[in-house]
Amino acid sequence: MKNIAVFTSGGDAPGMNAAVRAVVRTGIYHKKNVFGIYYGYEGMIDGKVEKLNKKDVANIIHRGGTILKTSRSDRFRTPEGRAMAYKVLQKHKIEGIVAIGGDGTFTGASVFSEEYNIPFIGIPGTIDNDIYGTDYTIGFDTAINTAIEAIDKIRDTADSHNRLFFIEVMGRHAGDIALHTSIGSGASFTFLPETDTTVEDLIKYLENAKKRQKLFNLVIVAEGNKSGNAMKIRKKLKKINEKYDSRVMIIGHIQRGGSPSTHDRVLASRFGFAAVNALIEGKSNIAVGLINGQIVDTSFNDAVTKTKGIDLEMIKMAEIISL
Ligand code: F6P
């Protein structure tokens, strides 16, 4: 294997640049030519490929976003799109690829690799922390710290006005961001995609809180929970009883940006290093991950079909310590 490539795909996550840097430098250390594919699978189809040297990845470890850009590609879901991508890889004689992204990225890599027999190694990069086979994904730690910083500020004004605040955080299908920000911010109550919490449950909590002279409440809402987004929950609550006045804050995409935390930089560097070593060892169709502090491999098949799930003990603990 002489030529390898790296790309980022799907939603960006702080720390992706640190992973790209580690891939490029580890690859060059092993005397490989390392190519960057820009704009994920879209760029693979359109031939946006450039050789990277050590200097191209200098001064990026602290930067959020991804220097390789990213996209979500519908064309890559089609056999025609994948055939075009294969031609591009052939043109550059690319024999192994490191794909940085979430489960959509790994699914694409798995299908393509089986069709064209090119080894792929995945690096879990998504703020959602929802990939099976790793305790942490790149970007999660930064995202929850960004959320916490904002929520600490909301806490001040909520306290001053004795107000109820709904704070919506990201996580369309997964509640790890919401659960961690809820515990870390000392919030009162949490709506997660993984649980069946209702507005009636919230009312019970609020009524008990009132009896305890708890005068302001922060409620964390994962965007993909079953009772609806923060605006919807606020509306439902008001409809049940006019007395529940509240405010909504949607933290939104700032959770995806910003300088990565040290945890994310180190994690991303370890993943990038491990991914190139895996390619060199002849591994294929696996994602690297971190379990109990150790780098492990998980097949793409398991990574995309198995659900990581949420820590039920932690949900219980969050409930108990917010009472
Ligand atoms: O990257 C994951 C994620 O942040 C989800 O939590 C969120 O629902 C989604 O991406 C939003 O992505 P976009 O706005 O890029 O479509």
CA–CA dist 179, 153 (Å, integer): 19
- Atom 12, ligand 1: residue with shortest CA distance: 11
- Atom 6, ligand 1: residue with shortest CA distance: 171
CA–CA dist 69, 38 (Å, integer): 6
Q: Which amino acid is at 113?
A: S
Q: Which amino acid is at 317?
A: M
304 Cβ closer than 6 Å to some ligand 1 atom = no
Q: How far is the CA of 269 from the centre of ligand 1 (A)?
A: 23
- Kindly give the residue spans of alpha helices, DSSP state H, lying in 13-130: 16-29, 40-46, 79-91, 103-116
3-state secondary structure of 8: strand
pLDDT, position 131: 97
Q: How far is the CA of 254 from the centre of ligand 1 (A)?
A: 11
CA–CA dist 184, 171 (Å, integer): 17
pTM greater than the 0.95 cutoff = yes
Buried b or exposed e, range 244-253, using 16+ CB within 10 angstroms: bebebbebee
CA–CA dist 265, 60 (Å, integer): 11
pLDDT, position 323: 85
pLDDT, position 188: 97
CA–CA dist 266, 198 (Å, integer): 39
Q: Is 128 a catalytic residue?
A: yes
- Atom 16, ligand 1: residue with shortest CA distance: 11
In angstroms, the Cα distances linking 267 to 20, 108, 134 are 12, 23, 11
Could you say which residues of the chain have pLDDT below 50? none
Distance of CA 105 to the CA centre of its chain: 12
172 Cβ closer than 6 Å to some ligand 1 atom = yes
pLDDT, position 148: 98
- Please tell me what DSSP assigns to residue 127: T
